[in-house]
Amino acid sequence: MDYGQIAAAILAAVSAGGIAYALFYPRLSGQARAEQRRREFAAPAAIRAAADREAQSQARRGQVAQSLKDIENREKARHKVTIEGRIEQAGLSWSRKQYWLLGVVLGIVMAVVLLVTSGNWVMMLVGFLVGLLGLPRWYLTHLGKKRMLRFINEFPNALDVIVRGIKSGLPLNDCLRIIANEAQEPVKSEFRLIVEAQTLGLSLTDAATKLYERMPCAEANFFGIVLAIQQKTGGNLAETLANLSRVIRERRKMRDKIKAVSMEAKASAAIIGSLPPAVAGLVYVTSPGYMDALFYTNAGRIALVGCGIWMLIGVLVMRKMINFQI
């Protein structure tokens, strides 16, 4: 091999090594990081404080985003309520066996009543299914809504007790115990469960999450959000809960105002919805033979079913128009 080519290859290798050394040695040796730390320490205090605030703000935004993600997951799980959950939301102490036993009894009663009145086995089967699956569920839903309404009306007073207790120097757990002993139902029992959960080793945030599962309303959800964010980021808990109490009261005022304003529309919808069945019943009582064609001919039955479907659609549309969610 020519010595010139060997010398050129050696020079190229040395040059490549020098370039690589110049580019990567500061990073490998930590010289660049040390230079960056020297610049940070040499920077003015205001710049370092701004950087610290930005880092804290980013961390806080991340914690809030995680809390909101957890809340979204709880909201998705809210729609998957079991029978035990519905019983707990209604404030009852039934077991699953008692629930189904009640459903069977109601189903048998409905089936016997429809069989005696109509003499149709299909109607008897429909009555049994309605009594077994529909009436117990409707009863639990009705009790749960009434209990939730009482909770919403009393919950701001409980928050005020917490605010006054914290401002006077009491720990938060003592304020919760005061509510668990002296508040009105169902707030009293719900906060008693929170205190008992903390006694068993559950954190306050997790106990508040359980409150939202037992009482799936926006007010209980707000309470859990406030406690979760305050535990992660800190802040004035008394002021935050005072603002929450004010917001809940304003929501209730708005709900009552909308209810009063829409009462005329609800009355009109009730009259319009009940007028056709009422007129049909009066005609049947006064002139029974006048409506025989609707019940004893195929065309009459088809017309009767079609009218019933259109009436149901109209009632559902009116119900959607006059119901407002706050």
pLDDT tens readout for residues 133-144: 888 888 888 888
Residue identified by tokens 């935050």 is 240
pLDDT digits (tens, 9 = 90+) for 254-295: 888 888 877 877 888 888 888 888 888 888 888 877 777 777
Q: Is residue 150 part of a domain?
A: yes
Range of the domain at 274: 262-326
Record the tokens describing residue 256, joined without a space.
């009552």
Q: What is the largest CA-CA distance in the chain?
A: 127
Judgement on whether residues 232 and 304 belong to the same structural domain of the protein? no
Residues ≥6 apart with Cβ < 8 Å to 302: none
Weakest-pLDDT range from 43-57, 179-193, 204-218, 272-286: 43-57
Instruction: Check whether residue 212 and residue 91 sit in a common domain.
Output: yes
230 and 103 in one domain? yes
10, 14, 55 from 24: Cα distances, Å = 21, 15, 29
Residue-averaged pLDDT of the chain: 78
- Classified as helix, coil or strand, 271 is helix
How far apart CA 63 and CA 50 sit, in angstroms, is: 20
pLDDT at residue 1 greater than cutoff 60? no
Is 73 domain-assigned?
yes
User: Is 16 part of any domain?
Assistant: yes
- Measuring CA to CA, how many Å separate 210 from each of 63, 190, 221? 20, 10, 10
Only one residue has tokens 């019943």, namely: 281
7-21 pLDDT, tens digit per residue, is: 666 666 666 665 655
240 and 91 part of one domain: yes
Residues 234 and 214 occupy one common structural domain: yes
Whether residue 323 sits in one domain with residue 280: yes
Q: Does 198 lie in the same domain as 121?
A: yes
The structural domain count of the chain equals 3
Same domain, 217 and 275: no
Write out pLDDT tens, residues 92-133. Answer: 888 888 888 888 888 888 888 888 877 778 778 888 888 888
Cα distance between residue 183 and residue 191, in whole Å? 9
DSSP for 136-153, please give it.
Answer: HHHHHHHHHHHHHHHHHH
- On whether residue 256 sits in a domain, the answer given is no
Nearest residue to 163 via CA among 152, 178, 153, 149:
178
- 253 found inside a domain: no
